Structure 1
Amino acid sequence: MIKLKSHPQLNRLKIKFIIEIVAISLFVVLYYDAFDGHQKPLLLNAILIFFALAYIISDLAGMYNLYNPVQKGSLVQSLLTFSNKIRFFGLLNTISAFLFGLAVIGFFVYGIEITGTKTLLITGFFIFLVVMTFIGWRIWKRRIRSIESIFIELTSE
């Protein structure tokens, strides 16, 4: 179990979660003045804050589960439960990141005059968001496989 708690992928996930929480929190604190949030509709501000908080909450829930990997029961059952939780939080984190990205794009696009060039730029941002979401999920899958290799190693001993 010590091997699991000190696994490099888990440490990287903890650092990732902390960086994301701090960065999104700063964005939420500063966006209203820095990006003229007061000039946008209340609903748009609420959507942006909601998805930012959803992203932060998914990170906090993921961190909580990383710090508490072992549940009651047998070690093998505990590891299986932990593996399923990591998969769930990977998916939750990926979806919440995508929705937060959409909210940010929507926030910045609202109220601008759409021209052909701006349409291409917005489309480019959206494609970039989709590609980054796909890459993010692949990174999660790689982390999950790496963590599951510890489970296989522990259960085969």
Structure 2
Amino acid sequence: MNIDELKSDWQSAGREPLSEKELAMMTRVRNHPSLRKLRIKLMTEIAGLTALLFLFYDAFDGAQKPLTVNILLIISIVLYIVNNALGYLQIQNPLVSGNIREALAKQTLSLKRLAVLSLASSVVYATALLFFLTYQTAFTQRKYIILSALMITFALLFYYSWISWQRKITHFRQLEADF
């Protein structure tokens, strides 16, 4: 391509006006790439945890554990899924007001609440899962090592999740401060 063709393409770029429908589709919050990643993560978690719910009774000896332990695991998984789904819906439909600064302040507060609920539901789920897996288990040195590895993994995941939430909240605080 020579310079004249490049100039011609540059001058003709953007001459075709977009329809209002195309502009509306481009500016919809639901089409944001970050939401697409969150949606994929949410669907993957729902599929995995639903599979766990269907398999825990047979594969993880849920039949040999008391009903209360099984119910605790089920409730914690459902709480975790519902919390994540509600969080996704809240992020997908942000609070809109006439004042951008107020909207950012509300969104920051909303993210703070969402972070606390998300981390709390994760702690409840991880605790219930560990309780379910270790209930009436005769521990050996190998099992203590596995339990320690699981606890360290959960702690690292909580820390990563907390850092991620703090980064999001800080981003919105910075946006609010810039206005």
* Same fold per superposition (TM over 0.5): yes
Aligned counterpart, 2:114:
89
State how far apart, in whole Å, the 2-side matches of 1:3 and 1:146 are.
Answer: 20
Do the aligned partners of residues 143 and 22 (structure 1) sit closer, same or farther apart at CA in structure 2, a change above 3 Å counting? farther
Which residue type is aligned with residue 53 of structure 1? V
1:121 pairs with 2:146:
yes
Aligned counterpart, 1:13:
38
1:144 pairs with 2:169:
yes
Residues 20-99 of structure 1 correspond to what in structure 2 (within 5 A)? 20-72=45-97, 74-99=99-124
Aligned counterpart, 1:107:
132
Aligned-residue Cα RMSD (Å) equals: 2.5
**TM-score, length-normalised on structure 1?**
0.80
Decide whether the 8 Å contact of 2:29 with 2:93 is kept in 1: no
Task: Please report how far the alpha carbon of residue 16 of structure 1 lies from its aligned counterpart in structure 2 after TM superposition.
Answer: 2.3
Deviations 1:86-122 (A, max 9, x none): 2221221122122211211211112221123322321
Aligned residues: 153
**TM-score, length-normalised on structure 2?**
0.72
Please identify, of 111-120 and 5-14, the stretch whose mean Cα deviation from structure 2 is larger. 5-14
Unaligned runs of 5+ in 1: none
Decide whether the 8 Å contact of 1:98 with 1:130 is kept in 2: no
Task: Please report how far the alpha carbon of residue 32 of structure 1 lies from its aligned counterpart in structure 2 after TM superposition.
Answer: 1.6
Please identify, of 7-16 and 64-73, the stretch whose mean Cα deviation from structure 2 is larger. 7-16
Do the aligned partners of residues 9 and 71 (structure 1) sit closer, same or farther apart at CA in structure 2, a change above 3 Å counting? same
Secondary structure of 1:48 counterpart: helix
Unaligned runs of 5+ in 2: 1-26
Task: Please report how far the alpha carbon of residue 39 of structure 1 lies from its aligned counterpart in structure 2 after TM superposition.
Answer: 1.3
Do the aligned partners of residues 6 and 144 (structure 1) sit closer, same or farther apart at CA in structure 2, a change above 3 Å counting? farther
